[in-house]
Chains A and B, each alone.
Chain A
């Protein structure tokens, strides 16, 4: 009894949480169709940005730019964006479901050239200060800052050739092996964590050793992101950029640093809103067709398994659908055609889960068990097969997520969510429902039995189980009432 109750509570709790995700959109900037679910370029359209390269570019550089942009957009959660080359002259970027392309523009247009620099001077000025003359200022330049913790008109005189011992050391974004955003626990706000490769770690140690007590500027695209004071030499190859960033800023900066700097500058040449690439008519018919297909499946289950068990199978489908859409909403998923393919597969596996269980219950009933015992045995004996079948599919989905890009990733995401939902629906939801209705389920192979009675051996012997049908096809129709 206790296990039943726990299952029922978990089922209701999951439903409640998932509905919450679905009904309360959390990101105000992106308005999804359901909750936070956005429809992809193929289904809904989005923003189109075209860039031209500044200067002449070889095909190799052009493809390098594309690779970096794809990585950047993926990293900054603009998944499902399309990047294509316009000959050797520029690139075309299509991003689904965004209202303000400015954010994306900042992400694409930046060269993301990152370096560390010594700070030689710092002034507040409304105009750019005059360059300083002198041997110690060779190679230095005045740069503005984007750090909100210092006055906006602060200028830093920085030099990327940092004197260490008799020579100089340089450290740039090329020596960064990873970057991620995290919460700054000491001062609040978000920060960016950098990890260096071994060359970078060594350089960073030398630089921080030489600059103890002095500020070290972190410069990106000719702006000082922040210029913290070095307290001590730092070993181990990790650094933080603390600039009092918002989460989005920190995440985007980390994505920019991770994906590397562009070998060429880009100029925005066109900005447009585009309609669905599959065509609005295609999308409409597909949705109608999908609903028709679903309706047929729901009806089939009712006809084949009878009103009681059929209804449970149908409810399981609806439950899993709510689960999938709720989780997609939580993860700010973008739904594209491949994603819908993943959901169709999920419909298949959800139906399958129930079919496996129901068929097993029928088999158990044929052996003369009471319907209650048959239900329990049916679930216990189907657990292994349901887990094995779904975990194998889950393995495929994980690998696709790891190796795939764009819409393949989208497919992997909906499939993963759907499979987890399938396992839960089959083993927990359907179980709860079946337990609930078990008093009303009759063992139709032994109709004289009550729901908790079973054929004991004494009864079974002389009677010879003639009610068992010769052909499983005769088992059609409601066995549940």
Chain B
């Protein structure tokens, strides 16, 4: 009646591809590591003042990047302007944060060249403070992230085991692990800046992928009853097909929102938008090609042993 796409037939090919991408990701994560942002790795923070009051962040960035290219990606925050401090001229004030660390000589050099560039543009620049800052996001996060992951794992396994069957829980967690490892791997492979906004993107990915998996699972649960006696792989394939238009609509609309963000967002939001966009793709893929096939082997085996009894 309806045309079925055979999703489960070539499942071993897709599992093999996924496993090799996971292996590649793990190698990169452990060998290459991550390009951690300032909020994780720490760096240098400079408070600089300029005797021009209508300076924009872009102006400051251009002056500093001429002195040191590292500042092209610096995080720059405008502070309220100040007067006083020995002079009566009003000054604009900025906080600049970069990943680099500077020793006393480099610091003096940077100061000298910034002052030179600024005076060429007819203003005076001054470093009000020069500090080494710690990675503030790192301290609490690493410890709690591990515990959070363990508790999430256990609770999801329990919930899905109660509402579905134990094996569905295993399948859902396998597909979540698949998505997280591959996405994290991409950050490592392409050396995309890994800052605390990326954590938010990974968490969103987790939520999205889980949602997608549960919808397909729910249909499998229903069809296991309705199509009683049919082979498991057929039941799974029918379920994927029946939920396909829902999968396409939901994934496409969510993808549109995050991909528009990725296309037009400025450079500091790119790492975040990348994780969100890729998350939708892998979250959708894994529900069909990872979470569902996991069930086939397990459920058919159990059916056979039950038949023998």
List, in ascending order, chain A residues with CB within 8 A of B139's CB.
Answer: 63, 66-67
With A85-B134, A392-B160, A471-B3 in contact, is A385–B211 under 8 Å at CB? no
A359 to B245, CA, bound (A): 8
List, in ascending order, chain A residues with CB within 8 A of B148's CB.
Answer: 399-400, 402-404
Contact (Cβ within 8 A) A407 B200: yes
* Per-residue B-contact encoding for A291-326, CB less than 8 Å = 1, 0 else: 011101100110010000000000000000000000
Contact (Cβ within 8 A) B207 A408: no
List, in ascending order, chain A residues with CB within 8 A of B211's CB.
Answer: 348-349, 352, 389-390, 392-393
B227 in the interface, Cβ–Cβ < 8 Å?
A: no
List, in ascending order, chain B residues with CB within 8 A of A85's CB.
Answer: 133-134, 136
Nearest chain A CB to B153's CB is how many angstroms away? Answer: 10
List, in ascending order, chain A residues with CB within 8 A of B246's CB.
Answer: 352, 355-356, 359
A276 to B144, CA, bound (A): 27
Contact (Cβ within 8 A) A396 B210: yes
In A323-363, the 8 Å CB interface with B consists of 337-338, 341-342, 344-345, 347-349, 351-352, 355-356, 359, 363
* Per-residue B-contact encoding for A398-424, CB less than 8 Å = 1, 0 else: 011011111110010001000000000
Binding-face segment, A176-184, A199-207, A267-275, A435-443: A267-275
With CB as the reference atom, state the residue of chain B lying closest to A269.
B129
A238 to B234, CA, bound (A): 63
Contact (Cβ within 8 A) A277 B136: no
A475 to B272, CA, bound (A): 36
* Per-residue B-contact encoding for A70-107, CB less than 8 Å = 1, 0 else: 10000000000011111100001000000000000000
List, in ascending order, chain B residues with CB within 8 A of A352's CB.
Answer: 211, 215, 246, 250, 254
Nearest chain A CB to B30's CB is how many angstroms away? Answer: 24
Contact (Cβ within 8 A) B163 A388: yes
With CB as the reference atom, state the residue of chain B lying closest to A45.
B77
B232 in the interface, Cβ–Cβ < 8 Å?
A: no
Contacting residue for B141 out of A289, A345, A347, A408, CB 8 A: A408
A233 in the interface, Cβ–Cβ < 8 Å?
A: no
A86 to B131, CA, bound (A): 6
List, in ascending order, chain A residues with CB within 8 A of B210's CB.
Answer: 389, 392-393, 396
List, in ascending order, chain A residues with CB within 8 A of B204's CB.
Answer: 341-342, 344-345, 411
A279 in the interface, Cβ–Cβ < 8 Å?
A: yes
B124 in the interface, Cβ–Cβ < 8 Å?
A: no
A415 to B197, CA, bound (A): 15
Nearest chain B CB to A316's CB is how many angstroms away? Answer: 13
A363 to B261, CA, bound (A): 34
With A300-B256, A352-B250, A393-B207 in contact, is A289–B159 under 8 Å at CB? no
A470 to B138, CA, bound (A): 55
B268 in the interface, Cβ–Cβ < 8 Å?
A: yes
A472 to B144, CA, bound (A): 46
Contact (Cβ within 8 A) B218 A388: yes
With CB as the reference atom, state the residue of chain B lying closest to A337.
B197
B177 in the interface, Cβ–Cβ < 8 Å?
A: no
Contact (Cβ within 8 A) B147 A403: yes
B181 in the interface, Cβ–Cβ < 8 Å?
A: no
A282 in the interface, Cβ–Cβ < 8 Å?
A: yes
B140 in the interface, Cβ–Cβ < 8 Å?
A: yes
List, in ascending order, chain B residues with CB within 8 A of A388's CB.
Answer: 163-164, 214, 217-218
Contact (Cβ within 8 A) B136 A282: no
B70 in the interface, Cβ–Cβ < 8 Å?
A: no
List, in ascending order, chain B residues with CB within 8 A of A133's CB.
Answer: none
With A338-B200, A411-B200 in contact, is A404–B252 under 8 Å at CB? no
Residues of A within 8 A of B (CB): 45, 48, 63, 66-67, 70, 82-87, 92, 272-282, 285-286, 288-290, 292-294, 296-297, 300-301, 304, 337-338, 341-342, 344-345, 347-349, 351-352, 355-356, 359, 363, 381, 384-385, 388-393, 395-397, 399-400, 402-408, 411, 415, 468, 470-472, 475
Provide a sorted-by-A list of 25 A–B residue pairs whose CB atoms are within 8 angstroms: A66-B139, A85-B136, A278-B75, A279-B76, A286-B265, A293-B256, A296-B260, A297-B253, A345-B207, A347-B253, A359-B243, A359-B249, A385-B219, A389-B211, A389-B214, A389-B218, A391-B159, A402-B148, A408-B141, A408-B199, A411-B204, A470-B1, A470-B2, A470-B3, A471-B2
